[in-house]
Amino acid sequence: MQLIEEFKVKEEKAVKVFILNGDKEILFYRRDNIKGLPFRNYWDLIGGQIEERESEIDALEREVMEEIGCKVDETERIGEVYDSRYRTRIALYKARISFPIEDIELCEGQYARYFKFNEARKLRIPKFFRDFMNMNRELFD
CATH number of the domain to which 134 belongs: 3.90.79.10
Range of the domain at 19: 9-140
Q: Is residue 100 part of a domain?
A: yes
pLDDT of residue 42: 97
Q: Is residue 2 part of a domain?
A: no
- What stretch of H or E contains 130? helix 127-135
pLDDT of residue 101: 84
Q: Is residue 3 part of a domain?
A: no
pLDDT of residue 66: 94
Q: Which residues of the chain have pLDDT under 70?
A: 1-9
Q: Is residue 20 part of a domain?
A: yes
Q: Is residue 110 part of a domain?
A: yes
Residue 68 · residue 48 · CB < 8 Å: no
Q: How many CB atoms lie within 10 A of CB 14?
A: 19
What's the domain count of the chain? Answer: 1
pLDDT of residue 100: 82
Residue 95 · residue 74 · CB < 8 Å: yes
Q: Is residue 1 part of a domain?
A: no
Q: Is residue 4 part of a domain?
A: no
pLDDT of residue 112: 95
pLDDT of residue 81: 98
